[in-house]
Amino acid sequence: MSAHSPASTNSPRTFTLASRASQLAQIQTNQVQKALQDLFVDTTDNVSPSFKTSFMATAGDKNQSQALYLVGGKAFWTKELEVALKEKEVDMLVHSFKDVPTTLPDGCIIGAILEREDPVDSLVVKKGASWKSLDELPAGSVVGTSSVRRVAQLKRKYPHLIFQDVRGNLNTRFSKLDAEDGPFAAIILAKAGVVRLQMGHRITADIPPPTLFPAVSQGALAVEIRSDDEEAIELCRRLMHKETQWICLAERACLRVLEGGCSVPVGISSRLDVEGSDEVLTLTGCVTAIDGSDHVEQTVKEKVSSTEDAEAVGTKLAKLLNENGAARILQAVNQDRAKRAAAEAAAENKS
């Protein structure tokens, strides 16, 4: 029996929420499960739906050796889950929204976007170290991050630091950081994940814009569902957080035009303000060369009254960035990635 089939026509439906198997993904899925259950907390009848969870390893979880920069698109984190969703083995997928491709498979939609946590990136130094910021790290210090976006932006201000890839779930990264014989003086992580994992006490300092612009949709959770599942659509509608929805859809529209995948140096900062009777969306985006030598940054500020308006602001920002040099930078990034991937493949064939 598929995940969406009730035991009988009169039985309440059980929805299966699925995500990756990491501890953080499970925490996030449980958070969405609770939000759904809370919709029915005051219901006394016996026809309320129930919600269970299911967890699976994706290609991104299984491949812990290759640099994310060389792997390519975001489907690395979502493809297996989306297959299960389309085959009706599960009903809802819970994602870190920053890991979701800007174009979804046919038959899949984003049903809910929950209120966003702080999207900022944070510095975590080795346990016992006295440094309080990136500015205090000695020249030659090794900083771990799996994000080419972070490396590209930070090389502009900190050319004296060495940035090295670090893969694994958050617990694994903390272990690699704190190992006495490990190379890392510090690592950089998305603050939202660290806080959700209840490790916020390890954060040394936040690294806000303009030093480091966050990834598109960083800090937000999204629920992906089938486009023909009316019950799931209605449930997710009740979880949607409007401000987060408008901001994230604007950011994703920008990234979609730039054709930036999971590991490209695109950063963005957004704000939705009320000015009199108007809602005003401000987006600042940047695209940075891998070595930090070239950087394009633009801001768009527009009145918005719908998700379509918000997406139009993101599209406008992307076009501005491209017109001012982002297209040139991204072309070089893609050429560099192809060259490195070919070299890695050649090395593997020799071994």
Structure tokens at 297: 């940054």
Is 99 among the residues known to form the active site? yes
Question: Measured between alpha carbons, how far is 28 from 19 in angstroms, rounded to an integer?
Answer: 9
Structure tokens at 85: 């969703």
Coil, strand or helix: which one is 226? strand
Question: Measured between alpha carbons, how far is 112 from 173 in angstroms, rounded to an integer?
Answer: 30
Amino acid identity of residue 8, one-letter, is S
Coil, strand or helix: which one is 194? helix
Name the active-site residue from 38, 45, 61, 99. 99
Question: Measured between alpha carbons, how far is 174 from 183 in angstroms, rounded to an integer?
Answer: 12
Structure tokens at 144: 């771990």
Q: Answer for the pair 113, 34: CB distance below 8 angstroms, yes or no.
A: no
> How many alpha carbons fall within 13 Å on the CB side of residue 299?
10
Amino acid identity of residue 204, one-letter, is T
Catalytic residue numbers? 99
